[in-house]
Structure 1
């Protein structure tokens, strides 16, 4: 039988390196975090071959005493904690005391440091786990760590490294995360002797713009929320800034970048109503709370955390993001069409509508984003539309029904467009025409507005249905002649089992035979929809949902199905009053920049854009 024996320290460090030093980027993260913990305000990072052959980090931090250089490379030696109480309230990025020891175990490491106030710098080197005696070295200030040939003495693990290009990408992303969290520190990042990027000491907003791009800062939405000792601030991208991957999602807890399932789920749920299919949101968010309310010691690489009150964190994250996204009413932000036919269609934050109206350029294109709560601009109706035919089509915002799209054509004559469309006009202007029964064209003070009428109406209905369900005020409309239809066995069973859920949604459904159901009432907001097709889809959703608890969680998906059926369809011709009523409803509806599936509902073409299309003035 094999005997049990203690492992040698060097082998222990090599085993630990498998967890701590997964790749060059992991080693780089540990070293840069030590520089930040040392109070550095200037960090220089140099790589060769993606960090496989060389990682060199220089800082101007406090440095390390000569007597403690060897101890800095020892396993489980740290200056950051002394007791369990320190561990429970740790505020530094590093604290385990195993990072440098693990890196030294699988590489050739050189540590040079000069303590603040010391006359000399000292240097130690490691080889096969052996640490040399300190020797004098030339260094003006701070610490320099050189890591050469990662995994040179563990060939089997080295085989798992990717190409230099791939490893460089991971190192680049790691350093940008740290730079994003520490705008009070300047960073210089070089690869193979060439400077890739350099960030000076700057404001938080400027650092976000430097890492994620000016367009994200200009088009993003500011977040600033707090609940007791929890606070959240930063920027989130509008739904149309979403990406096909999660490569632009940055979330920090007390300055530490983390990937947390609870956080990801909260943000995904907040975007659910406005994000298209499998797209992923873009954000740079900074979450702060007392150190004793979060456990950062749950992962070897410190990339995951555990919150003491996860429910409060989840509610703050989801609620804050939902509130910001709810402010994206049509007209508060302006999606514009790129006249150069590029694939990106940016959103820009609103400014005070009416400024610089004589220039032909919307003021939001020059607005400077400010931290704070998102404010939306509501414009009064123009006197030019103050006609009985116009107001007869409008309904109060809080009613569950939206009935400005009737089947019969209005008998009132269309009202002409006002002579001038100025800064006092509604943000989406006034309708002028409809194209192929699909798009509404409107004129505002900046130019042409193009609206997808089905997508816009779908969002309006969806928000009204949600409000009505929350307020328990869903109003049913009895059908003059009940709609009877042949039902499958599943539909018959679902109608019986989910009778209460159907009633809450505004449907009255009853069996009239073993194979037929009769629909006697529908929600008043959906009275113009095809009743049989609508109720069949609702029964399908309910049969897939099952229990009432799951129904609550899936409620919005069912309401989205209802809204889609009730929205005006393509090839439906609207009168000018109906089109204008739709525009006014969009301006008063939350999240009306996107439909329920995350698609945009409208775009703006400024006069400058139109001039470019027709090459006027060129």
Structure 2
């Protein structure tokens, strides 16, 4: 056996330190945002009151965090880059009483393994600071330096020594969105500290010290200022505090939901469900409430050493935490009269109204009995019947959709508009009967006669399919016509939405939008697609971003696919929009010209076909 082992040789060997460090770094530093998180948390642990983040090329060429914390000695400055070197843990029991953001001693070692690092630090008691440069986990320079108290650490050329890892990074706009997310999570947890973020010399965030509500409004936008409800519950087991958004602040996409446990941001689908249950019947089933909730409990009741990012934790008794969270949110909603309730006391203002204060005269009683509404509730077989109301010329909630649709129809009749369907089409399976009229049902369905049979068309889903194929042709190179806005519109966005829109600008130009950056997190809308009604450009962009974030949760879609699906869903005519005969026929014809007319991009049917044979059998004709 010994002779055989000597012949084959030993297989297991120890990896060199620089390779082992790069492998370990992959768990902690997955992208620039990962490094941002670790460096910001180190500054918080250092007792800093001012923390500045400076980024270049979305962190690919520079990530620098400067703070006014306690700083490090010369020995500590060098030792902090060693693996598992930490000031937070000295014995095993310390792992169960973690109250700091970092504790493993892996962050700086991982940073030094995948970037060129420049560290400057000084303690208040030291006359001079320490300057250290590191490359490939090796110290290449150490010297004294002059600086104010605190620490500045800059990592340059991320993954310079691992080209394959660098190639897997996304676009600058995408990576910047991840950086903003991590920055917001740390800044939200510590409103008593000053934070700033600049990217390529542009100021993205300047967050002054203040209250939690002020920080939420600073980060998420002024629209939340009047839409926040405080949550405050104290128990022997845990404390819960923070803010929830009123039901009208709920959105169709995730993003404005934050859980912090002992000031550490966490992800928890379980606790999110608790909040959703508290909002049950107050918001639509597909909407997400806004919340920023802080849960404080004894460190030995949780285990934060579950995942390298420390964003997943384990509770000793998660059912108790679930119940407390749900109860706290329900209590807050009820306290501020947001929960639905039965009021038995009539408001004094209502009691002064004529309808309450004055008697119901015989003449008024006779007039009421003669009304159609009275008859529909008192006569048999009339409950379903509602008299026609005079045309008002305005459909509430659908005005802009109708105007967008009508302008689309008019644009297709002009010679300057390129048809979206002038490529060679396959032989049509469905063909409208010539000169046959179409009928609209309930302002959302169309009955379209075919040569044999008919189609029951869902107008919103049908229009979504038409727009999807038109937009797909545009991003493939058939640029859509654009119209200059009469008065350019300026739109201010949150930093996260600004990064998202920046990522889409080139494709939006192909789709007929003329949008340019206009200062920090602001854009100017110079042009819109020819089929978009002028006057609601700002609302259209805001709605597009929300719709895009909804599709952004599905990783199987490309960026362009998410964009055109978002636009198609957003611009499609909505239910309740009345159409003329011409408009109905135009929609039906456009739909049947599509390459895939019978389903939406998401797989829903756009119409149901009733063939002549089916109709014949349906009535059991002989």
TM-score interval, normalised by the smaller of the two chains: 0.5 to 0.7
CA deviation string 1:418-473 (max 9, x = no partner):
xxxxxxxxxxxxxxxx9979xxxxxxxxxxxx99xxxxxxxxxxxxxxxxxxxxxx
Aligned: 1:160 with 2:128:
no
Aligned: 1:271 with 2:239:
no
Partner of 1:20: 28
Partner of 1:382: 351
- Give the alignment of 1:161-176 within 5 angstroms: 161-176=169-184
Partner of 2:297: 289
1:51–1:168 Cα contact (<8 Å) kept:
yes
Partner of 1:211: 219
Partner of 1:73: 81
SS of the equivalent of 1:140 reads coil
SS of the equivalent of 1:43 reads strand
CA deviation string 1:98-145 (max 9, x = no partner):
001001101101111001210001111111221235311221110000
Partner of 2:48: 40
SS of the equivalent of 2:225 reads helix
Partner of 2:110: 102
Partner of 1:301: 309
Q: Compute the displacement of 1:307 (Å).
A: 0.8
1:226–1:316 Cα contact (<8 Å) kept:
no
One of 247, 256, 260 as aligned partner of 1:252: 260
2:229–2:243 Cα contact (<8 Å) kept:
yes
Q: Compute the displacement of 1:30 (Å).
A: 0.3
2:245–2:289 Cα contact (<8 Å) kept:
yes
Q: Compute the displacement of 1:330 (Å).
A: 7.3
- Give the alignment of 1:573-612 within 5 angstroms: none
- Give the alignment of 1:445-456 within 5 angstroms: none
The CA distance in 2 between the partners of 1:100 and 1:406, in whole Å, is 79
The CA distance in 1 between the partners of 2:375 and 2:147, in whole Å, is 80
The CA distance in 2 between the partners of 1:88 and 1:331, in whole Å, is 39
SS of the equivalent of 1:277 reads coil
One of 155, 170, 185 as aligned partner of 2:193: 185
28-37 vs 176-185, which moves further: 176-185
The CA distance in 2 between the partners of 1:78 and 1:378, in whole Å, is 65
Pair 138,292 (structure 1): closer, same or farther in 2 beyond 3 Å: same
1:47–1:54 Cα contact (<8 Å) kept:
yes
Which segments of 5 or more consecutive residues in structure 1 lack a partner in the other structure?
334-376, 391-404, 411-433, 438-449, 452-569, 571-618
SS of the equivalent of 1:234 reads strand
Aligned: 1:201 with 2:248:
no
Q: Compute the displacement of 1:249 (Å).
A: 1.1
The CA distance in 1 between the partners of 2:168 and 2:39, in whole Å, is 22
How many residues are treated as equivalent by the alignment?
A: 362
SS of the equivalent of 1:132 reads strand
Partner of 1:428: none
SS of the equivalent of 1:16 reads helix
SS of the equivalent of 1:210 reads helix
CA deviation string 1:561-606 (max 9, x = no partner):
xxxxxxxxx9xxxxxxxxxxxxxxxxxxxxxxxxxxxxxxxxxxxx
Partner of 2:14: 6
The CA distance in 1 between the partners of 2:116 and 2:29, in whole Å, is 14
Aligned: 1:90 with 2:98:
yes
Q: Compute the displacement of 1:387 (Å).
A: 8.4
Partner of 1:491: none
Which segments of 5 or more consecutive residues in structure 2 lack a partner in the other structure?
1-7, 362-373, 380-385, 390-395, 398-575, 577-622
Q: Compute the displacement of 1:407 (Å).
A: 7.3
The CA distance in 1 between the partners of 2:251 and 2:171, in whole Å, is 25
Q: Compute the displacement of 1:240 (Å).
A: 2.3
Q: Compute the displacement of 1:304 (Å).
A: 0.9
Q: Compute the displacement of 1:303 (Å).
A: 0.8
Pair 389,285 (structure 1): closer, same or farther in 2 beyond 3 Å: farther
2:64–2:155 Cα contact (<8 Å) kept:
yes
Q: Compute the displacement of 1:329 (Å).
A: 5.0
The CA distance in 2 between the partners of 1:228 and 1:389, in whole Å, is 58
Q: Compute the displacement of 1:50 (Å).
A: 0.5
2:333–2:339 Cα contact (<8 Å) kept:
no
SS of the equivalent of 2:226 reads helix
CA deviation string 1:12-40 (max 9, x = no partner):
22112111011101101101100000000
Q: Compute the displacement of 1:386 (Å).
A: 6.3
One of 121, 124, 139 as aligned partner of 1:116: 124
